[in-house]
Structure 1
Amino acid sequence: MHLYQNQTLKIYNSLSGEKDVFKPIHEGQVGMYVCGPTVYSNVHLGNCRTFISFDLVYRYLKHLGFKVRYVRNITDVGHIVDDEDEGEDKIAKKARLEQIEPMEVVQQYTVDFHQILEMFNNLTPSIEPTATGHIIEQIEVIKQIIDNGYAYEANGSVYFDVIKYNESHNYGILSGRNIEDMIANTRDLDGQSDKKNPQDFALWKNAEPEHIMRWPSPWGDGFPGWHLECTAMSTKYLGQQFDIHGGGMDLKFPHHECEIAQNEACSGHTPVNYWMHANMLTLNGKKMAKSTGNNILPRELFTGNNTVLSKAFSPAVARFFILQAHYRSILDFSDDAILASEKGFNRLMEAVDNLKDIQAGTTSTLDIAAWKNTCYDAMNDDFNSPILIAQLFEAVRYINSMKEGKESLNASDLETFKKAFHAFVFDVLGLQNEKEIAANNDKLEGVINMLIGMRNEARANKNWGLSDEIRDKLLELGIQLKDGKEGTTFSL
């Protein structure tokens, strides 16, 4: 029997504006799509908050026993500067400025993105498709939308006909925007003459002769619009209707609104049952922005190489800080706030260490079943991590009382408590015990140095077979030896 069969999970659904009881389309299985990064710059802390929030969702669904297919894309083409249909592709612009190939830009920042999320202890998604890897699928979606009468071609570009779509559908169903208000508030922009209406958005853009990123299509050489990739990739891997679609609050309009329109215009189906949006991260009370300098990158946070904070903070502390706020609330990042989080994190990890040494008593003086239920109640209430953390600090109080001999648990209750505490701290919240990691790293370093010593001895005895075997076996484990003048070093 799986945990989800005994739990009632409620998710705040941006589509309904309410917390809806979660019922997956297929029992025991969840399809979840989250909009990934546009890889033209280093991932910033606000983006990381979104990805950590959905990592929490992914972890909790898995903890409940659901089989989750988590798809998170990489946007490596089609995201226009200022998110308008007219302008330069962000990746192509970065490539032009740095005088490198667009795919060099993509590779550099995709690697950075993966490294940062690994430091934050995010689980990898089930599938991580790229926009450039799904051009054919995007062209097929456009063809279907044109055939259904909701798009038109103009001078090698294809635009979605918002007014025509709105005659039989609701463009604005997610964001709550009214099409008449949108028309009234739109200013005519030069260069938009190919569109029937300013609200229409690009499904396919004609590539100018100098445009590097281009693909052949029935409408001429060009590249896909920004919104199209998510429609093509989410439905390819999750089906025409799936359970959860997530992203940052800033994507609700136009990106997610356009996704709904594209899906309905293509397949006739509303694509997603539960739309989830993570809120923004501010810095010292103001919006994070590179242009104003009110910005901090994750690596600057981890190294302390910044002008915002008094010291360096570890990825685990930063993750804990982010999870201390509900994903739908605005979170302000400041030196005082993360210093307070660090103290709380250290208290929690101290309790983790203390719990290992606590022995069972003959009787239980604490109601562990009730405590455990409050933890599940918190997470079942739209993944309320701050309430869960408050319950974990209640558990810290229990641990301290047991350490002092004021409270006790019998063997069975103690085992239940240890398992549940460990599951919520590490499996669900995804926190890491840095002391344990450091201790394990020291042990690993000691073992590798011992093997290097054995290899040096083998080489001195001209036992090249053993020497090579040690080197090759370590390489298979991802440990590379480097022989130099100063001796042999290693890298993981």
Structure 2
Amino acid sequence: MDNNLTLYNTLSRKKEEFKPINPPHVGLYVCGPTVYGDPHLGHSRPAITFDLLFRYLTHLGYKVRYVRNITDVGHLENDADDGEDKIAQKARVEQLEPMEIAQYYSNRYHLFMDALNVKRPSIEPRASGHIIEQLQIVKEILDKGYAYQKNGSVYFDVEKYDKDHRYGTLSGRVLDELLSTTRELEGQSEKHNSFDFALWKKATPTHIMRWPSPYSEGFPGWHIECTAMSTKYLGDQFDIHGGGMDLLFPHHECEIAQSVAAKGKTPARYWIHNNMITINGQKMGKSLGNFITLEEFFTGNHKLLNKAWSPMTIRFFILQAHYRSTVDFSNEALQAAEKGLERLMNALEQMEKIKPAGQTTFDIQNFKNKCYAALNDDLNSPVLIAHLFEGTKVIKAAVAGKESFTKKDLETFIHTMHLFSEDILGLKVETEGANPHPQILEGVMKLLLEVRQQAKNVKDFETADRIRDGLKQLGIEVRDSKDGAEWVVKTP
């Protein structure tokens, strides 16, 4: 298939013409979420980026097998090889089974991705469901001599691997630099080198999540999970591996090393990474107080938000920037995105008012070619959006009688505008009847909580409890604190 699509390949650090291994089939693997908390704004960037890629490749006629994993075990604190599993930690705090935590937040993730109109992947494997496959690859790496056992754990020998291959091909890191800048960390003395990484970890007596293995009762390392799942569903080598730029090192670097050690080849031919989202110029983080969940965006329930923002506004806001550039959140930027989205959606509705004429005064083919050229140039969504805004001006002029289309050309123009706006960019009209506006929900909840507080003030606890219990049945949990009551949507 010849379509002139170019993608920026992190491995070669340049744009390359996309040529699948086995056209028209395309294998796409994207690192999905670690499900131990509500999805935040940062989760939306890779989801929307690779949703755009999935939609466009499918439109071009490719048969895409899109695999996006769920990490539900083995991701430890600070992305290290020691500490507590993030899901197990949440389970211990909330006194639940780890898989309850994983299932609950997986459901939450799907709820918010659906709201953002992100398509479900072809396959969504869980790390905990592929322990056998992970142990098989650990064995292959050990058999090839690129790993070692120590006290029931198995570690990848980075230094030995680097002598035969090269560690750092994706990130550009040099092993000598790692040797000079890393130090032996407390609790990592069993490693040959501090930059070696775990393939399998022996579980401590208090570790909740564990499985039997030839080495110990333990759990897999974070990096081996993606290698096992991508290999199982896409083969030893596939077309595209994607994820956030924060995963480039060490996660994706380790995936390459594992695959080369076990299979003799780099897993993916194209490595695509989206950039991060900052908030007022700062990286998002709980310690900085600028950590905003998607639910808080949709309800406006956060101190940094001056109102609720709809899911489509968030999607449009992210698509307005190229996926490899940083996106800086501010209320002003979201307000501009909201206005831009409204302008585009209104124009799509106005097209129905255009009446066919005897001639066409607008170069539709050139317009269509420019839209394709934008996406063929490394998924340049902001340039595509600029062309679509050019289309809105033409629509306005046509409605006013200043542009004209024959019946056939009008059909082509309408189809092109809908195709790129809705089918490929994934934008849609949000109707208040089918999906109540977050601001309305926020206002209703504020009123209900005020009525409940008034009932409590006069010791009418029956009414107060009835409001709380009724909301709970609707999936809204009310949490009382010394500063008043807060609410959170708990179920899809």
Q: TM-score, normalised by structure 2?
A: 0.88
State the alpha-carbon separation in 2 of the partners of residues 88 and 305 from structure 1. Answer: 30
Segments of structure 2 that go 5 or more residues without pairing to the other structure are 437-473, 475-490
3-state secondary structure, aligned to 1:260: helix
State the alpha-carbon separation in 2 of the partners of residues 306 and 208 from structure 1. Answer: 39
Residue correspondence of structure 1 range 133-212 to structure 2 within 5 A = 133-212=129-208
Most deviating of 69-78 and 193-202: 193-202
Segments of structure 1 that go 5 or more residues without pairing to the other structure are 443-480, 482-490
State the alpha-carbon separation in 2 of the partners of residues 62 and 348 from structure 1. Answer: 24
State the alpha-carbon separation in 2 of the partners of residues 46 and 260 from structure 1. Answer: 25
Residue correspondence of structure 1 range 271-286 to structure 2 within 5 A = 271-286=267-282
Residue correspondence of structure 1 range 43-82 to structure 2 within 5 A = 43-82=39-78
Aligned length: 440
**RMSD of the TM alignment (CA)?**
1.6
State the alpha-carbon separation in 1 of the partners of residues 123 and 335 from structure 2. Answer: 36
Residue correspondence of structure 1 range 180-329 to structure 2 within 5 A = 180-329=176-325
Residue correspondence of structure 1 range 440-479 to structure 2 within 5 A = none
Name the amino acid aligned to 1:142: V
Residue correspondence of structure 1 range 66-105 to structure 2 within 5 A = 66-105=62-101
Name the amino acid aligned to 1:288: M
Offset, 1:168: 0.9
Offset, 1:252: 0.2
Alignment correspondent of 2:25: 29
State the alpha-carbon separation in 2 of the partners of residues 422 and 107 from structure 1. Answer: 36
Sequence identity, in percent?
A: 59
1:32-83 alpha-carbon deviations (Å, 9 max, x no partner): 0000001111111111111111111111111111110000000000001001
State the alpha-carbon separation in 2 of the partners of residues 438 and 85 from structure 1. Answer: 47
> Does the alignment pair 1:127 with 2:119?
no
Counterpart contact for 2:184–2:193, Cα < 8 Å: no
Offset, 1:7: 2.1
Name the amino acid aligned to 1:409: F
Offset, 1:284: 1.3
State the alpha-carbon separation in 2 of the partners of residues 171 and 440 from structure 1. Answer: 52
Structure 1 residue ranges (4+ consecutive) displaced by more than 6 angstroms after TM superposition: none
Offset, 1:199: 1.3
Offset, 1:336: 0.4
State the alpha-carbon separation in 1 of the partners of residues 435 and 329 from structure 2. Answer: 30
Offset, 1:439: 5.7
Alignment correspondent of 2:404: 408
Name the amino acid aligned to 1:152: Y
Alignment correspondent of 1:464: none
The match for 1:421 among 417, 422, 443 is: 417
State the alpha-carbon separation in 2 of the partners of residues 406 and 275 from structure 1. Answer: 46
3-state secondary structure, aligned to 2:46: helix
Counterpart contact for 2:30–2:241, Cα < 8 Å: yes
Name the amino acid aligned to 1:27: P
Alignment correspondent of 1:341: 337
Q: TM-score, normalised by structure 1?
A: 0.88
Alignment correspondent of 1:459: none
1:307-328 alpha-carbon deviations (Å, 9 max, x no partner): 1122111101110011000000
Alignment correspondent of 2:353: 357
3-state secondary structure, aligned to 1:355: helix
3-state secondary structure, aligned to 1:227: helix
Over 3 Å counting, the alpha-carbon distance change for 1:205 and 1:70 in structure 2 is: same
State the alpha-carbon separation in 2 of the partners of residues 7 and 379 from structure 1. Answer: 11
Name the amino acid aligned to 1:161: D
State the alpha-carbon separation in 2 of the partners of residues 89 and 313 from structure 1. Answer: 33
Offset, 1:175: 0.2
Most deviating of 255-264 and 97-106: 97-106
3-state secondary structure, aligned to 1:50: helix
1:144-166 alpha-carbon deviations (Å, 9 max, x no partner): 00000000110000000001100
Over 3 Å counting, the alpha-carbon distance change for 1:394 and 1:235 in structure 2 is: same
